[in-house]
Each structure stands twice: as structure tokens, then as C-alpha cells.
Chains A and B, each alone.
Chain A
């Protein structure tokens, strides 16, 4: 008996091990599902290239005379490669962290497995985070290749301050993770309508956070709303840092201010989002609507 008691891991260790085990099991499950659909895998790659090509070719109509490809006209923002490529990378990652958790919760509802998951003692947090892990890795690969393609099409990519850029990217993603939890909470509450809300928010954020163009292109009325969104500061700080702060950048606020906003956004949003998710989850369990969709 004494031996058995001695061989037991400490409660703290066993908790971490259980969290890791739940995370790993769920990540592996998601990976297995991804591998079962190879066409999906390849198609998502092709789709990203096509979207990139469509928007960059569309944008290039304004700064390049096609008969003399390669010669670019315009000012410092005339070659938009930095703005577009870094904005695109952030957009891709944001898409994963913002919507994947919510979509997966809904998928579990549709498949009829959400209630079972909540009956098991496995960590809910690890299970939710694991869903985004594979997608993030896949998106990383997609982003690098898509950025290379965009650079080929619209010009040389400026790369300055990569470590500071990485820090800002991580903070922006951490913040959007928090948003992801809030969206998952919303999915539990509004069910089918969440899809429409996600679409609307996705396109709204695309304009308000100016991922594909400088903020200076936005009309003052829309710019006012951009200034209210912390994510917009993260986008601005990230790409301005990676471009080496050219004239006119950052556009929304001085860099130290944007740095603080991005850091606070990255640190505060995940606990806030998870708190709201747990509330929505408890509400659904109390009202028996966890499996309803």
C-alpha cells in the first residue's frame, strides 16, 4: 500500500499529464481526419494560390502597366508587397484562430459527439486548443508558400525586425484565440445563425483591419471604427515592424502605443474568451441544449 502511494505522481504532475494527454489525443484525432481527405488537403493549397493570384493580379492593375511587366509605378506605398503579404499572412492565421474552435464545436454537435465529450472527465480547454493546432501548422506552411508566390507576383518583400514581428504575430494570434473562444460560446447560443455571423464578421474584419491595403485607403468614417478594434493595431504594428517602419507607418498610432495594445490584447483576450465560453457551456448544459443545433 505504501509502495503504491509512493509510486503515485503528484497531483500537479498528473493534472499536467492529463491535460497533455487530452490535447495530444484530440490533436491526433484531428490529424487522422485531415489525412483521410487528401483531396481536401491538396485543394486547400490550390485554393490559397488562386485567391492570392486573383487579389494580387487585381491590385497590380493599379500599379503596373501589364505590357511592361516588372516596371512599377507609384510611391512608397506604390509597391504594396509588404502591406499585402504581411496582411495576408495575418489574415490566414486569424482565420484559423478565430473560427476553427467555433466551427469544431458545431461539427461535434452535428456529428452527435459533443455531449459524449462533455460527459468525459477530459480537459475541455486542451480539447478546444488541440483543434486549432493542426490547422495552425498547415496554415504556417500555406502562408510561407503563398507569401513566396505573392512576392514573385508583386515585388520584393521587405523583411526587417523578424523577432519583434514574431512576438507581435504571437500576441495577435493569442488575442484572436480569445475571440475564437467567444465565437465558440456564441455558436452554442445562436446555433445555425453562427455561420452567418461568422461570415459577416470575417468580411467586416477584413475591411476594418485593412489586411490587404494600407489604412490610409479607408474612408475616415470606416477608419473611426478600425481605431476601436485592438486587432487593427496588431495588424498595423506587425506589418510596420516587418517593413522596417517606412514613412507613414504605423498608421493608426505611434509604435509604442500599438505595441502595448497588441500585448494587452494577446494577454487578456484568452482568459476572457475562455471565461465566456465556460459560461455559455454551463448555460447549455443547464438548459439541455448542448446537442441542439
Chain B
């Protein structure tokens, strides 16, 4: 099929998802509220735990702005969460909606439909994360625009591609194991743990730290925190950390697509993708 037709499928899938979510405005509000509440838990625990929480926090993380630190972690968690639930769960979503068989019968490759879903997910994720960060900062009385705001945004944008590619890898696991709900739940928390949602990964033992560094969201979170709060880049220079994310960006889409395609072919040959 021509590239133009494929893009038309991509945008149709994007529009369909967007139209569906506009029917549930309460869900959109929750997308913004949840990260704020998430960040609020450790913040309140910290406030109750000693005479000078900011000083202890600074000694552990490199910044005394613990509100900003937690809000950034919770906002990036939203991005990770959306990526996993929308893309890794995509096949199950189509199964539940009863549209999977139709998708396999049309002449367009499924990758364009997933790409439309991913585009929708990115847009919704970035909007929710940004809104949660800004609103949370406003409610908790911190300045959201300190530091290098543009650089932070670059880290988010560059990090999104490897993040979504990672979900393709994980989508392959779901295709094989079937139990999508449980696996997506587990994985979103697993990635959040490794990326250091509320703490620096420096506290991990060496092996755990090495595993954490293999996850693009770890670089994305630290990049944003370093740009806004000055906690320190992994390689001390922003462009070196960004270069690592670029490297992820070049490798992971191909790896993700390759693994997903192979798994899908294998599953279709044996039990079939419709079984869940």
C-alpha cells in the first residue's frame, strides 16, 4: 500500500481513539489527578518524618525541592503507564472490542493501526503529565518553570520513542503469555521502580543499577530532573545523557518491531492471536 494510505490508516486509528476518550471526560480528569495524588503520598510522609525534610532529602537526592522531584517522577510514571496500557495492551483491546479479526483481514499492516494508537497515547500522556506537573506545582506551591524547561522537554520527546518501542517488546510477551492485565500491571510498576519514580537509582546495588540503566525511562526521568532541578546527569553533561537516549531511539524501534513480528507470526501459526 502507498505511504499515503498507510498514514490515512494511522490517523483514522488516532482519531477513533481520541473520539472514544472524549466520551469519558471523567477519565481525562483522573489522568491528571492520579499523578498528583501519587506524588502527594511520599511528600506527606516526608513532611511528617523529621524536623528538616528538605535538608535530608537534599542529602539523598541532590535537591531540596522534593515536591518538584516527586511530581516529575509521578508525571513520567503517567507517560510509562499510558505507553504500556495503550500499546502493550492494544491487541487485547482490539479483542475485547471485537475488531481483531477485521484488522487481520484488511490489506493494511497492523503496525499502522498501532502507530495511530501510539500517537494518541503519546498525546494524551504528554498532556496529562504536563497538566499534572503544572497543577501539582500550583497546588503544592512550587515554581514549575525553574531550570532548563526546554531541555527537559527535549528529554521527554526523545525518550518517548524508545519507551513506546519497549512496549512493543512487552506486547510480544503478552501475545505469548496471554494474561495481559496482570502483566501490564506488573510491568508498569517494574519500570517505575527501575526508573526511580520517587528516589535516585544511585541507592540501588550495582546489578540493579545496571538493569535500571537499560531502561530508557530511567534516562528520561533523570534528564528531566537534572534539567529542572539540577540533580546531576548520569554522565555529568546533558548532551551525553541525551546521546544515550538517541542511541536507544535508533535501536529499540527495530528491536521491538522485530521481536513483536516474530512472536506474532509464531502465535498465529500455533494457537492463534484470538485466544485469550
Binding site for B on A (CB under 8 A): 37, 39-40, 43-44, 46-47, 50-51, 53-55, 57-66, 73-75, 77-78, 80, 83-84, 192-193, 196-197, 199-200, 203, 206-207, 210, 212-214, 216-218
Asked if B49 is an interface residue, CB under 8 A from chain A, the answer is: yes
Asked if B246 is an interface residue, CB under 8 A from chain A, the answer is: no
Are B183 and A54 interface neighbours, CB within 8 A? no
Taking A62-B56, A196-B26, A214-B48 as given, write out 10 further A-B residue pairs in contact, using a Cβ cutoff of 8 Å, ordered by the A residue number: A50-B186, A58-B41, A58-B42, A59-B42, A59-B46, A61-B42, A64-B56, A197-B26, A199-B30, A207-B41
Are A40 and B181 interface neighbours, CB within 8 A? yes
Asked if B138 is an interface residue, CB under 8 A from chain A, the answer is: no
Are B183 and A43 interface neighbours, CB within 8 A? yes
Chain A to chain B contacts (Cβ below 8 Å), 28 pairs: A39-B182, A40-B179, A43-B182, A46-B190, A53-B193, A54-B192, A55-B45, A55-B198, A59-B42, A59-B46, A61-B42, A61-B60, A61-B61, A62-B47, A63-B50, A64-B60, A66-B60, A73-B50, A73-B56, A75-B51, A80-B49, A192-B24, A193-B26, A196-B30, A213-B48, A217-B44, A217-B45, A217-B48
Binds A, one of B32-40, B100-108, B265-273: B32-40
Sorted nearest first, the 8 A-B pairs with minimum C-beta distance are A58-B198, A62-B46, A74-B50, A58-B42, A43-B182, A217-B48, A40-B182, A50-B189
A214 to B50 alpha-carbon distance, docked (Å): 12
Q: How close is B41's CB to chain A, nearest CB, in angstroms?
A: 5
Please, which residues of chain B bring their CB within 8 A of the CB of A199?
Answer: 30, 34
Please, which residues of chain A bring their CB within 8 A of the CB of B189?
Answer: 47, 50-51, 54
Please, which residues of chain A bring their CB within 8 A of the CB of B56?
Answer: 61-65, 73
Asked if B197 is an interface residue, CB under 8 A from chain A, the answer is: yes
Q: How close is A239's CB to chain B, nearest CB, in angstroms?
A: 13
Please, which residues of chain B bring their CB within 8 A of the CB of A43?
Answer: 179, 182-183, 185-186
- Across the interface, A63 reaches (CB within 8 A) one of B26, B49, B66, B178, namely B49
Pair count A-B, CB < 8 A: 143
| Size of the chain B interface, CB-CB below 8 angstroms | 44
A66 to B155 alpha-carbon distance, docked (Å): 27
- Per-residue 0/1 for B40-79: is the Cβ within 8 Å of any A Cβ (1 yes, 0 no)? 1110111111110100110111000010001001000000
The interface residues of chain B, by DSSP majority, are classed as helix
A200 to B183 alpha-carbon distance, docked (Å): 23
Q: How close is B52's CB to chain A, nearest CB, in angstroms?
A: 9
Smallest CB gap from B186: residue in A:
A43
Interface residues of B in 90-113 (CB under 8 A from A): none
Are A55 and B50 interface neighbours, CB within 8 A? no
Please, which residues of chain A bring their CB within 8 A of the CB of B197?
Answer: 54, 58
Asked if B8 is an interface residue, CB under 8 A from chain A, the answer is: no
